[in-house]
Amino acid sequence: MSREAAVSREAAVSREAAVSREAVSRALSDVVFVDGVRTPFGRAGPTGMYAQTRADDLVIRSIRTLLARYPDLARERIDDVAVAATTQTGDQGLTIGRTAALLAGLPASVPGFAVDRMCAGAMTAVTMVASAIGAGAYDVALAAGVEHMGRHPMGDGVDPNPRIIAEKLVDPSALVMGQTAENLHDRFPAITRSRADDYAAASQQRFGRAVADGSVGPELTTVATRSAEHGYGLATADERPRPATTATELAALAPAFRPHGRVTAGNSAGRTDGAAACLLAASDVAAELGLPAAMRMVGYAFAGVEPEVMGLGPIPATEKVLRRAELSIEDIGLIEINEAFAVQVLAFLDHYGIGDDDPRVNPYGGAIAVGHPLAASGVRLMIALATAFASRPDVRYGLTTMCVGIGMGGSVVWANPHWHEA
């Protein structure tokens, strides 16, 4: 090859690379949370309102209701559907993201997939499709989660590798989430049973006030239910909350996981059935399609901790995302933290020097009141934060965070589009 030809070829390659870099630069997008819908959460078990309702029907109903809010959004514009479930079997199996998309009436051209990161399933579904939107691979996507803990109790059908215990990779308590909560009490004796009960009662009361003032409710879709004994019904409200609960009543409950322990049914999230779904889009595409932007994703992180104290997971996950976003906890004006156990929330608050009754934290109550249908809860947190943002233009940034079974945590930082400086 002549010198002139080599120079010409090198210049062409450089031009190609420049064009490629420019295309990538144009493709990077801000990601917005458009809207979210959830079913009422029902008590898991044979007496719960969803006892004879299929799990996939719960998430299908959520998706259909969400899309019905935006009739002008061409369904072909949805690039993917990610649906999380912790127990991916039976009516929560068969690549539920794809089957739910089809059954929700989306065109056959819209693909879907299933996600599992235990309690952070829906949160992971959101961050996965958000990453694809940010990279320019998608414009609009759906993320959802469902858990029917009555049909599929946590751990049902699993076969943990015996090496996990035999080779002492983890303590046996790591496989029982309630025991990991007791381990947190052991590690942090300042987090007493009394503190946990006080926090749990406050969560119930905050949730009750939020229902009364309309902060909780607009995100709900009704769900048709069936019972061989009672016939058909309609689920319109969450089944678990007890807004009149007091700490004195909780103090009388027996420990659930250890004799003389501190973790009870009252200061833990109850076993629950339910689903939640949300719509995400590139910010410029949302504007083009006339879709609202309830909040903008700033960043996210997942982190691992010792499985025996999985409740500490939100701490390193939050530290990681704040560091990457160049923010501090003082910049966060609202925090939605999943209340798997009161002790886990209190450990997070103590780490950051936040008071147990700080109004920034779960202003509408949390999972101790409404329940924790595992893989669905991440989107419920996001819906709650988006609702709070709309009424709090003084808050610039918010956080959704949760602990995750087998020793993980997940955190997402969001920006409030309604924010303006005082």
Catalytic sites, residue numbers: 119, 372, 403
Instruction: Tokens for 263, please give them.
Output: 């973790």
3-state secondary structure of 80: strand
Q: Where are the beta strands (DSSP E) in 85-123?
A: 112-115
Residue 121 near residue 115, CB atoms below 8 Å: yes
Please compute, for residue 258, the number of CA atoms within 13 A of its CA located in the half-sphere on the CB side: 17
What is the phi/psi pair of residue 402, to 5°? -160, 150
**Separation of alpha carbons 62 and 224, rounded Å:** 12
Longest pairwise C-alpha distance within the chain: 90
> Are 156 and 91 within 8 A, CB to CB?
no
The three-class DSSP label of residue 199 is helix
Secondary structure class of 221 (helix, strand, coil): coil
Cα–Cα distances (Å) from 401 to 120, 205, 268, 320, in that order, read 9, 21, 17, 12
Q: How many residues does the chain have?
A: 422
